[in-house]
Amino acid sequence: MMPLSRWLRSVGVFLLPAPSWVPLERWLGPLRRPSLVYRGSVLGAWHSGRCWCQAWTEEPRMNGDQKLDVYDQAKEKFLQHFPQIVKVLTEDDMKCPETGDAVARLREVLEYNVIGGKYQRGLTVLVTLQALVEPKELDADSLQRALTVGWCVELLQAFFLVSDDIMDASLTRRGKSCWYQKPGIGLDAVNDAILLEACIYRLLKFYCREQPYYLNLIELFLQTCYQTEIGQTLDLITAPQGNVDLSRFTEKRYKSIVKYKTAFYSFYLPVAAGMYMAGIDTEKEHSSAKKILLELGEFFQVQDDYLDLFGDPSVTGKIGTDIQDNKCSWLVVQCLLRASPAQQQILKENYGQKEAEKVAQVKALYEDMDLPAVFAQYEQDSYNRLVALIEQCASPLPPAIFLRLAQKIYKRKK
């Protein structure tokens, strides 16, 4: 027998793909919903009802693995646009006799470091814009600009990752050697990372300088870059290599690191970019979105910290080094909150050390303290809190923007 949810969709009762896990008792939301496209007011019973009712009518889709979601549908177009990005950034300059070989190096940097991730950050720009603007308003040029801004987010991610891998002395990234580890690269990768950041503003100028949201995008990327670099600074000064001070690893400091190092660029940046491109630039709407997205960012980073040690490197694409690097990670913070004096001594003697046997001692301590179960409970509780927060704060933005993001990262393995 066909499930009720599938039958409802087949007859067109709900028009948008829907997350699956909002409880049936959710209210339909306000009956009057400001139009996000035309900035007027429209009767919103249908719009608001659909935003929440759609969440009741989809079969479970953990992490998007069981069927195509809007991110999967957008991914093909997104990847097809990358050669155009490389062409714009390199084609003309490669003909210049003075800089041609440097631009050829840039092309190599782009093709090695920008490709190979999950592309969730970049795709979120496009998915957000499509959720906010009527399809008839999105012409080919608008879609091309959205794809480009999405790739600007991926370029920012690549800039951060190349730099971070050097600072953390990481070995692998996305299933292959870190860029600086490749023969002949070394610390020249510092300059390559700076080139990746510079490409963002070249693309924004090339594609968006005539658009009313151009300045908003420039300021958004600049501010996000600064916030992330402040977060990286917090991370580095909290856990200096060779100086293990467990008293620094507090929940308060951890939350600050995560907010600035991860949440702004991974979640607020791509959604805010899509909002600006849709003409939404009011403080109220951006503040509401930011409140949700920073919580999503913390949830995401806690998962990252857990997967750094307990994830499968063949799936995550990297070998975790948080213990060796003396990182203020969620696991060590939780360990310190629960540890007996004897357990704290084990941690003190082994944390932040490179030797494999000392890393194993820390992992064994975490397992003895049942931190994997603590994480599983945290993940479920955080997921439920996010759903409630989205219901409370999303309006007048479509809740599906945030629900889809939460769904994409819930129970992720990489």
Which positions are annotated as active-site residues? 118, 159, 164, 168, 173, 235, 261, 300, 304-305
Residue whose pair of structure tokens reads 């402040």 in the numeric block: 230
295-to-91, 250, 260, 389 alpha-carbon distances in Å? 41, 18, 12, 9
Which alpha helices (H) appear in 239-370, and where do they start and end?
A: 251-258, 269-277, 283-310, 313-316, 330-338, 341-350, 356-368
Query: Side-chain half-sphere of 83: how many Cα atoms within 13 Å?
Result: 3
Q: From 53, 24, 72, 27, select the one nearest 408 (Cα to Cα).
A: 72
Strand ranges, E, within 97-206: 172-173, 176-177
Distances (CA, A) of 393 to 28, 65, 265, 294, 388: 14, 28, 20, 13, 9
**Helices 283-310 & 330-338 angle (0-180, nearest 10):** 80
- List the one residue out of 59, 60, 33, 57 whose CA is nearest residue 47: 33
Asked if 165 and 178 count as a contact pair (C-beta separation under 8 A), the reply is yes
C-beta separation of 78 from 122 below 8 A: yes
Using CA atoms, how far residue 167 sits from 44, 47, 170, 359, in Å, is: 50, 48, 8, 19
